[in-house]
Amino acid sequence: MAGIYLHIPFCRKACHYCNFHFSTSLRQRDDLLEALRKEIHMREEEGRHLQVETIYLGGGTPSVLKGPEVGDLIRRIADHYNVADGAEITLEANPDDLTAPYMVDLLAAGVNRLSIGIQSFREEDLVFMNRSHTGQQAKNCLVEAARAGFRSLSADLIYGVPGMKDDHLLENVALLSGAGVDHVSAYALTVEPRTALDHFVRTGKVSPPDEEQAARQFHLLKQALDATGFQQYEISNWALPGRCSRHNTAYWRGLPYLGFGPAAHSFDGERRSWNVAHNPRYITAIMAGTRDFEQEWLTPVQRHNEYLMTGLRTRWGVRPGDMDPPGREAFLAGVVKYVERGWVRQEEGSWILTDQGQFFADGIAADLFLEEG
């Protein structure tokens, strides 16, 4: 099993909190598409032995592409790689792009799952975050997506936004669960370096997100989604039964993936590589028949630590039986204190974070890491 990721590095507007790789100038859009097509072809050899179960167009905002352009990219992947029947093909989209005719085009292009950047249905939150869409567009696109025939819809939400009341968050959840969404990804608003939000916080224009509000809203979100039949299968991800994102689950399980486009990462089970996060450099290199990238071979210690970092965030937890002897020993010795605190529980050979432990996931994983040497 493997996945293919395509990074589309363009956005119509820069959200104040975002530190992903994207450009708001669409000037190089056509050149970048040409380079992407070429990279798909160029790296065919790397994917020869892979059975591709998922294709994910992320960004940036892939919905800046026209339906036939999306179809062309998917077709080229199918021409050069072994794409399984029934592969999950996801496109990240913003509500303002999702018109009824566009969604018909996307279905015709082969997209069978939309991941929609809703974030909130309330105007004041959307303005605060500098999103490109309105609350009404967010509501409309869900109705239109279901009408167009999308059977698999994921929505992103953001909580912990300054001024966002608990009731507003619950309203957001209620609107999603009544609209045919089968998957929700929810993240606390965080201040990332070199973003507009970072600048506003530093200059006192806005107050930093309140950690207590974020923790409380995370808890409320869990309860509300649980009450509407969603299962939390990763700290930030919930799905109706059987509707987990196959693409993301494969990442968390350490399966190989190929990433095309600027800033895209690839992993073959031992080596991780990442393309340059710079559109002109990416295009120049690919069009010259080379690839501008960096890479690292993961040591056994790094692989163990990544397994802890990602595994502990999932509802399947980590299994000492899947660890090498030195890692297993260190893990079993280190995890005891977290079990005593009620932050980790054991279930059929797996060690899983409790609801309380989820608040400290990254800290627990880091504490259990093995050291090199």
- Choosing from 4, 6, 11, 276, the residue that interacts with ligand SF4 (CB under 6 A) is 11
Candidates 9-17, 73-81, 206-214, 274-282: pick the segment binding ligand SF4 (CB under 6 A): 9-17
If phi > 0 it is left, if psi is from -120 to 50 it is alpha, else beta; for residue 84 that is: beta
What's the CA gap between 3 and 145, in Å, rounded?
24
Does 159 bind ligand SF4 (CB under 6 A)? Our answer is no
- Choosing from 2, 15, 52, 111, the residue that interacts with ligand SF4 (CB under 6 A) is 15
> Smallest distance from the beta carbon of 17 to ligand SF4, in angstroms?
7
Does 60 bind ligand SF4 (CB under 6 A)? Our answer is yes
Does 61 bind ligand SF4 (CB under 6 A)? Our answer is yes
Q: Identify the bridge partners of residue 258 per DSSP, sorted by sequence position.
A: 4
- How many residues sit in the footprint of ligand SF4 (CB under 6 A)? 11
Does 187 bind ligand SF4 (CB under 6 A)? Our answer is no
Does 137 bind ligand SF4 (CB under 6 A)? Our answer is no
Q: Identify the bridge partners of residue 247 per DSSP, sorted by sequence position.
A: none
Does 189 bind ligand SF4 (CB under 6 A)? Our answer is no
* 158 phi/psi in degrees, rounded to 5: -120, 135
Does 62 bind ligand SF4 (CB under 6 A)? Our answer is no
| Beta carbon nearer to ligand SF4, 70 or 309 | 70
Cα 342 vs. chain centroid, distance in angstroms? 29
Does 59 bind ligand SF4 (CB under 6 A)? Our answer is yes
273: number of Cβ within 10 Å? 18
What's the CA gap between 269 and 251, in Å, rounded?
11
What's the CA gap between 117 and 18, in Å, rounded?
12
Does 95 bind ligand SF4 (CB under 6 A)? Our answer is no
Does 23 bind ligand SF4 (CB under 6 A)? Our answer is no
Strands of 51-59's sheet, edge to edge? 231-234, 237-239, 183-188, 153-159, 113-119, 82-93, 51-59, 2-8, 257-260, 265-267, 271-275, 293-297
Candidates 17-25, 104-112, 192-200, 232-240: pick the segment binding ligand SF4 (CB under 6 A): 17-25
Candidates 13-21, 77-85, 108-116, 306-314: pick the segment binding ligand SF4 (CB under 6 A): 13-21
Does 3 bind ligand SF4 (CB under 6 A)? Our answer is no
H or E stretch covering 325: helix 325-341
332: number of Cβ within 10 Å? 13
Q: Which residues bind ligand SF4 (CB under 6 A)?
A: 11, 14-15, 18, 20, 22, 59-61, 94, 117
